[in-house]
Amino acid sequence: MCAGRGDALHWIADLDIDCDGRPGPVCNAASGPYFQETTAWNGSDGRPLSADTVPYVVVPGPSARWRPAASGITGGTLAVLVHGHRVRYAVVGDTGPADVIGEASYAAARSLGLGGAPQAAGTQDDVLYLLFPDTRVRPVEDPAAARAAGRDRLSRYLRETAP
């Protein structure tokens, strides 16, 4: 499920859509039966994140197998998503069931070119999830802040792990 290399954790999984958080034009109570108006972590304004606008990933809840917090993973942790030839930057924004991995916000899916209705916007193809426990994005809800932090941290990671 999760492996570490250098200062990063990573896994490869599909990408299911998480539409939870602050209701928006796409993600809201009408978009699906599992919609919740909360996310595990809030934005800098104290309100839930918006799956419509904030590219975020969902990490499994704590279990005997893995405890995200023990690995330094918390809200705002930098996440890098790779699908095909696209590299996009996000944050850790929500938790899901302990036995499920491979979920991200509607905004994260759209940034990877996985558009459409929330129920159809994900992919069964492989997506690389790369998380950097030592890097927090602030403000957590700002995609530009995630891009800036992500470009810098990913560049350092690639230099540090190159053979």
Q: Is 147 exposed, middle or buried (0-12, 13-18, 19+ CB in 10 A)?
A: middle
Average confidence (pLDDT) over 38-57: 97
The 10 Å CB-count burial string (b at 16+, else e) for 6-32 is ebbbbbebebbbbbbbbbbebbbeebe
Tell me the residue ranges of DSSP E strands in the chain: 3-5, 8-18, 56-60, 77-83, 86-96, 103-105, 123-136
Between residues 24 and 64, which one has the greater pLDDT? Answer: 24
What does the pLDDT read at residue 121? 80
Q: Is 64 exposed, middle or buried (0-12, 13-18, 19+ CB in 10 A)?
A: exposed
> Over the chain, what is the mean pLDDT?
92
What does the pLDDT read at residue 3? 57
Nearest to 90 by CA among 102, 74, 79, 77: 79
pLDDT tier at 1, thresholds 50, 70, 90: very low
Instruction: Check if the beta carbon of residue 122 is closer than 8 Å to that of residue 102.
Output: no
Tokens of 25: 């034009």
Average confidence (pLDDT) over 68-74: 92
Antiparallel, parallel or unpaired: β 86-96 and 56-60:
parallel
Tokens 């904030």 map to which residue?
Answer: 54
- Domain hosting 12: range is 3-161
Domain CATH for 16 = 2.40.40.10
Instruction: Check if the beta carbon of residue 92 is closer than 8 Å to that of residue 130.
Output: no
Q: pLDDT by residue (tens digit) across 94-110?
A: 999 999 999 999 999 99
Q: Indicate the pTM of the whole model.
A: 0.93
Domain count within the chain: 1
Task: Give the CA-trace dihedral at 18, 21, 26, 29, to 10 degrees.
Answer: 100
